[in-house]
Amino acid sequence: MKALLVLLAVSGSAWANDADLLRCRAISDISSRVACYDAIPLAATPAATSAATPAPAAVKPAPAATFGLTATQMRKPEEPNFIESTLLGRIDGWSGSTLFRLANGQIWRVSDDSSGSVTEIDNPKIKITRNSLGTMFLEIEGANQAPRVRRIQ
């Protein structure tokens, strides 16, 4: 129903006098016909119709920077690009289902099927970074690889 009202509001302001439209339609030369249509005033609507039809709400176009991104992929400007913490416990590597418990209370899980190994270390420092597409990577002190991760708690 709301869509119908918006459609009526938009089309209501574009109504033209039927006689003007018929007169333009009868012109055979294309450029003359277009000029005729262009000369028809668009504000020629009945006063009762324009008063009864609400104005359409202003639609704000999405910025190009967020085009195609879902709401969960769009980052708020005040969010940091990385966090640093300490991994609790001993680590010697990871696989597709590894959970990482951080000293700050967060729990992260490897979100792809990657695997890797590091020299066995207790409570290494870590840095979780976000790339420009919103993907998170866990950089572990002493490791050459950074698994893709997703926060679960």
The string of pLDDT tens digits covering residues 127-143 is 999 988 889 999 998 88
Q: For residue 113, is it within any domain?
A: yes
Domains in the chain, number:
2
User: Does residue 137 form part of some domain?
Assistant: yes
Asked if residue 73 is part of any domain, the answer here is no
Q: What is the distance between the terminal CA atoms of the chain, rounded to a whole angstrom?
A: 41
Spatial CB neighbours of 80, under 8 Å, sequence gap ≥ 6: none
Residue 145 lies in a domain: yes
By residue range, what is the domain housing residue 44? 2-52
At residue 13, the pLDDT reads 47
| 68-90 confidence digits (pLDDT tens) | 666 665 666 677 889 999 999 99
Rounded Cα distance between 147 and 139, Å, is: 7
Q: Which residues of the chain have pLDDT under 50?
A: 4-6, 12-13, 44-45, 48-50, 62
106 and 138 Cβ atoms separated by less than 8 Å: no
89/48 same-domain check? no
CA-CA distance, 43 to 47, in Å (whole number)?
Answer: 10
Query: Does any domain span residue 58?
Result: no
Instruction: Determine the Cα–Cα distance for residues 74 and 69; give it in Å rounded to an integer.
Output: 6
What is the pLDDT, as a whole number, of residue 25?
Answer: 85
Provide the pLDDT for residue 146: 92
| 9: in domain | yes
Q: Is residue 47 part of a domain?
A: yes
Beta bridge pairs of residue 139: 127
Residues 6 or more apart whose CB falls under 8 angstroms from that of 101 comprise 87, 88, 89, 107
